[in-house]
Amino acid sequence: MSEPVEERAPETDGAPEISFEGWITATLSMCERAAGARGSTFCPEWWKHPEAVARFKALYIQYGHAIEDGEVSGWWIQHWDPHMRALCDPDVGPFRRCAFGHAEPKETVHLMVATPEVGDPDYEAAVSSPDPRWYLGDDEESGSGSDVPV
């Protein structure tokens, strides 16, 4: 006689069961901002800002993990708050020109990123190691001749 097979839930990559569109609409619609508050800017057409879309999608996925782990309070503090501070920063955030509704940027300057040479050992070391001290040489890593605590 065969044993019953346990059915697994499909992998969701941590995303909540609600769609991204439903989640972002519900989440943004419950957030408050004091009328006339200075020091932050939000764009009602957030989807026209690629950085905002990327950050909101990351928040959405982390929200799914927080729900699964029962850590929603921590999600607000560790994820939502820092992302919203960055997005709504009136000096450097992507919404900085949108105080009175969406405004097309006068000039958008993206970070310049070089394309590494194939097999560049420095690039390979940087992207392959989760250790933030990847750049230390073997001598420095062992602590000899280094002021960096290990």
Question: Residue 87 — pLDDT band, cuts 50, 70, 90?
Answer: very high
**What pLDDT, in 10s, does the model give residues 25-53?**
999 998 887 555 667 889 999 999 999 99
Average pLDDT across the chain, whole number: 78
Q: Is the pLDDT of residue 14 over 70?
A: no
C-alpha separations of 16 from 12, 13, 24, 60 in Å:
8, 9, 11, 7
pTM of the predicted protein model: 0.65
pLDDT of residue 129: 67
Cβ–Cβ under 8 Å, residues 16 and 63: yes
**Do residues 127 and 120 touch, judged by C-beta distance below 8 A?**
no
Nearest to 46 by CA among 107, 85, 105, 101: 101
Query: Using an 8 Å Cβ cutoff, are 66 and 74 in contact?
Result: yes
pLDDT, residue 149, reads: 44
Work out the percent of the chain whose per-residue pLDDT is above 90: 40
